[in-house]
Structure formats: structure tokens, C-alpha cells
Structure 1
Amino acid sequence: MTKKTYRKTLSANDAGETKSHQAGMLIPKADHEFRAFLGELDPATKNPRRTISCLDEHGEEIDLQYIYYNNKLHDKKGTRNEFRLTCLTGYLRRSGAKSGDELELSKDEGQNLFNLRLITNSHSDAVTGETSNRIVLRGWRRIH
């Protein structure tokens, strides 16, 4: 059985540190591999979504929403054409997520349940012991 694992380094906005309203974590349209991992969404449907059922590192079940906000394709004055992963705020707050931490999403091939976990980052350089506030922003990347 093959397991696929993806990680995303959290930005301050992802972790809720900016106190701004966010409609979930952005998934780049060009990231076809990660989008396929989450499952297909029908662009002919306005704002299609699917539930991503997860088990976190503490054994708690969490339902995320994978949404294609596509009103630009369906409404004359629509502006949105983006993929998002939503319903993560509560989990990230309970886990004490901070910018620079990594969110990991994995799944065994043929299974419906995803695994979700937060990998904390001390933000310190192991050699110098200095603290760094520099965070490299990037999308979801395949680990395994």
C-alpha cells in the first residue's frame, strides 16, 4: 500500500497570527498533483466542495472542506477562481500552531481517511542557537 504525504509551512496568516479573516488555505490551481490527492471537484458546479475526513495526531476526527470557489465562471460579476482547504482554524488554535510550523496531510492509497498533524518548529538555528523570524512561504509539497 502506497502512502502519500504533503506538507505546508504555515504563514502568519495561516496560523491566525494576523487576526485577519481568511477563507482557508489557498491551494494553487497549478498544483494538479495535490488537488488530485484531495479528490476531484466538478468545475461545472458553482463552488463545488468535498469533505476531507481526517484523524489528527491525538486520535480526534476532523472534517475539513476542500472547496473550489469558482463564481467567476458562473456569475457575471463573479471574481473568485481559487481552491481552498477550510475548517482548519479550530485545529490550528488547539494545537498552538505558529508561523513556521508545518501542517502535514497524508493518506494511504485506497483509503478514505486522511491523517493530519502539526509539526512544530522552534525557529532556532541548531548550530548558532540564534532565533530567526525568516519564514520561506511556499505551498503544499510532497514529502513521500
Structure 2
Amino acid sequence: MALRTWSNWLDTHLDPKKTRIFFISLSPDHKEGGDWGKTMGENCFNETQPIMEEGYWGKGSDIDLMRTAQSVVQGLQKKGLNIKLLNITQLSQYRKDGHPSIYKRHWVPPTKLELANPVQYADCIHWCLPGVPDVWNEILYAYIRYKT
């Protein structure tokens, strides 16, 4: 419903000859290591390599929602709007190694209990820089700079 409302607003309020629109999908997490062969309940802690399986989608991503977003974007394109869907969701699914894990900056240093139990305390939602968010920005920049 939200995507359709957004689509209707864009269709009504924007001049397609003057406007370029970018829809960036959701950032995924890597909280369930069972998705890539670890024991269920483990997460991104100590991951150092990306997932190499082509077409990989983690269980935390809503593929139906992605299809709906793609359908809405295609509908706007058929109406003449210059819109691009940047699917950072699947792109970022591959990078289980790109989270700060327990090494993010905390307001206070992690306790011994937190360091001893990284499965419970690791941050597998946010991203490290440089890394994954930089690629999102580079893709957006390429669309802005080089695509018409």
C-alpha cells in the first residue's frame, strides 16, 4: 500500500522530463548464520569472507516485498518516469563479513561477558566503513553521473 501511494504521488507531482528518481531497497542483516552454513543461532561474528553463492538470499530478506518494489518501479517506468531501483538488499546479502560485529565503537568498552558471548552481543545489522555503504554510494553516483 505504501509503495502504491508513493507511486501515485510521484506520477501526479513530478515532471518526468526534469526529474530522476532512485529507489534504494532495504539494508539486510546477517543475524542467522544457518543461512550460510554455520550452526543455527550463530551470526556474523568473526566472518571474514563474503558469501560466494550466486543468487543468494538470506532468510531475513522479504523477496516478495522486493518483487513488489520492482513491479511498482516498472509501472512508473512504463508511465514515463525516469526511475531506477537500486537493489542493495541482495547486493549486501553477500557481505556477511561487512558488519562491525563486537568491534563497533561503544559508549563504554564491551564487558568481559559481552566479549565472551559474541553471538549474543555482535552487531550484525550495521555496516563498517569503508565497505558496503561505500558501494551503495558508488552505484548511486554512477547512475547520477553516467546514466541518462
TM-score of the superposition, structure 2-length normalised?
Answer: 0.26
More helix by share: 2
Please say which structure displays the higher CA radius of gyration. 2
More strand by share: 1
